[in-house]
Amino acid sequence: MSAATVTAPAVKPGSDDGRIGLRANLRHIGALARRNALQIKQDPQSMMDVLLAPVIFILLFVYVFGGAIFGKGHQDLSVQYMVPGIMAMMGMNIAMAVGSGVNEDFRKGVMDRFRTMPIARSSVLIAKIVVEIGRMLIATAILLGMGFVLGLEIKGGVLALLGAVALATAFGAALMWIFILLGLSVQTPQAVQGMAMLVLMPLQFGSSIFAPPASMPGWLEGFTKVNPLSNLADASRALVNGQGAVAHPVLITLGWTVVITAVTMPLAVAKFRKKT
């Protein structure tokens, strides 16, 4: 069966989001997630960013920036610092692709077909996020694999590593709602990517992902302290390395995750209903 013909189980005609039960919602999400996964299977090139980006990022930032920050011959320090930071960054890059994908589906008329079905509108968007979370976990696994090759040590233990992965995944899923809303608000996938980069670049490089904030000018150091990516990177780094404050950056990251999801998810679903 082709990806385009996968449909959600039917429910009573005329149903809306509020009258569709949880079990039916889960079936719809499962069917739509399968449809999205089949699309990836039919277009393997869409996985190139997931498969290659982690390798490129870790090699680039460990060997190019690592020596400048930690000094030549200190690759071990660079790996321990960079890998958790890049893990925090991966979710943001993948989240950007979600917005472009939603925009492209609307342009092709796929979303119009979904909106004629008696399914919860939120299930269409949640199914996309479910599949993108899977892509994010694959990218994280590749990143950690490369990290182990370069000498990464999980000093905090396996459970701490899993906690770091879960935290980065949850925050990345929250960011996806922002980019879905963006994808529903602009006209083309290129516009989504252009606007996203204007947000991504300052947040990524104005954070503790690649360099300690203490090495930055005072005004930029202040920005890094309120940057949610810095808190995520600090939390991941503390969990992986088994040292440094953990509770504060973890709680701040979880707070950002809840607030972003609570604000942008309803807005995205409402925009999806009304978009023409």
Up-side HSE of residue 101: CA atoms within 13 Å toward CB? 19
Q: Is residue 257 assigned to a domain?
A: yes
Q: Is residue 205 scored above 60 in pLDDT?
A: yes
Question: Nearest CA to 182 among 194, 171, 192?
Answer: 192
Q: Which pLDDT score, from 0 to 100, does residue 192 have?
A: 85
Say if residues 146 and 58 touch (Cβ distance below 8 Å). yes
Specify the pTM.
0.84
Backbone angles phi, psi at 69, to 5 degrees: -85, -45
pLDDT tens for each residue of 31-82:
888 888 887 888 778 788 888 888 998 888 888 877 777 767 677 788 898 8
Full domain range(s) for residue 59: 20-274
Q: Which residue has the higher pLDDT, 140 or 216?
A: 140
Radius of gyration of the chain from its Cα atoms, rounded to whole angstroms: 20
Q: Is residue 2 assigned to a domain?
A: no
Q: Is residue 122 assigned to a domain?
A: yes
Q: Is residue 14 assigned to a domain?
A: no
Total of domains in the chain: 1
Q: Is residue 15 assigned to a domain?
A: no
What percentage of the chain has pLDDT greater than the value 90? Answer: 31
Q: Which conformational region is residue 174 in: left (phi greater than 0), alpha (psi within -120 to 50 degrees), or beta? A: alpha
Q: Is residue 11 assigned to a domain?
A: no
Q: Is residue 1 scored above 50 in pLDDT?
A: no
How many angstroms separate the CA atoms of 163 and 171, rounded? Answer: 12
Q: Is residue 187 assigned to a domain?
A: yes
Q: Is residue 12 assigned to a domain?
A: no
Q: Is residue 167 scored above 90 in pLDDT?
A: yes
- Find how far residue 13's CA is from the centre of its chain: 35
Question: Nearest CA to 178 among 265, 90, 275?
Answer: 265
- DSSP H helical ranges for the chain: 22-42, 48-60, 66-70, 75-108, 110-115, 121-149, 158-185, 189-205, 218-226, 228-241, 247-274
